[in-house]
A = this chain, B = another copy of it.
């Protein structure tokens, strides 16, 4: 395909493909057609073909896409072929739930540090990680941590974001119900569960 700017929506779906392909690999399936994959993910087959074709030819005509190598290629596109470390800020209930969540590894993601500002929590363990003081942010860059998760109250989120950005963090997953002000080279994805739940009554 000629040069095309890759749609953000395509990027957003890529981890979905990684997740599905990882499962297929576990099931021992070697190839999958866009039709089968679309059925699993409730997408349209041409959508999947176009998404993948933005990055070149992945499949074999008449057969489909090879499960293992397609997963590997998508991971490489998303820069998930190298382990990506993240710092989690906030060791409350949500924070600890995230810290022990095993689902990050499919994407090569690892929670490599936990930070909290509550002095009574510092030094205690969550899984195999020790909760650190916010001052430890200064060491993040040296430890190769460039992603951050904010699981703190809304009032604290902007301050934490500032500290992480200062510490060289380039991508933030914000779980607090607020918007963040960050330099534009820092990418923020926000998730607000209450907002997500809030749209449902409109549709039901």
Residues of A within 8 A of B (CB): 11-12, 14-16, 18-19, 40-42, 77-80, 84, 86, 92-94, 96-98, 100-101, 103-104, 106-107, 109, 146-147, 149, 170-173, 175, 177, 179, 186-187, 189, 191-204
- Contacts A93-B100, A195-B19, A203-B171; A42 near B179 (Cβ below 8 A): yes
Q: Are A197 and B104 in contact (CB under 8 A)?
A: yes
Residues of B within 8 A of A186 (CB): 204
Q: Determine how close the nearest CB of chain B comes to the CB of A61; give it in whole angstroms.
A: 27
Q: How far apart sit A101 and B194, CA to CA, in the bound complex (Å)?
A: 9
Residues of B within 8 A of A199 (CB): 11-12, 14-15, 78, 189
28 contacts between A and B (CB under 8 A): A12-B199, A15-B192, A19-B177, A19-B192, A19-B195, A78-B199, A93-B97, A94-B101, A97-B97, A103-B193, A104-B194, A104-B197, A106-B177, A107-B195, A107-B198, A146-B201, A147-B197, A147-B201, A149-B197, A170-B204, A171-B197, A171-B200, A173-B196, A175-B193, A189-B196, A189-B197, A191-B193, A191-B196
Residues of B within 8 A of A202 (CB): 11, 14, 77-79
Q: How far apart sit A40 and B158, CA to CA, in the bound complex (Å)?
A: 13
Interchain residue pairs A-B with the least CB separation, the first 9: A171-B200, A170-B204, A93-B97, A79-B201, A187-B203, A15-B198, A15-B195, A107-B198, A94-B97
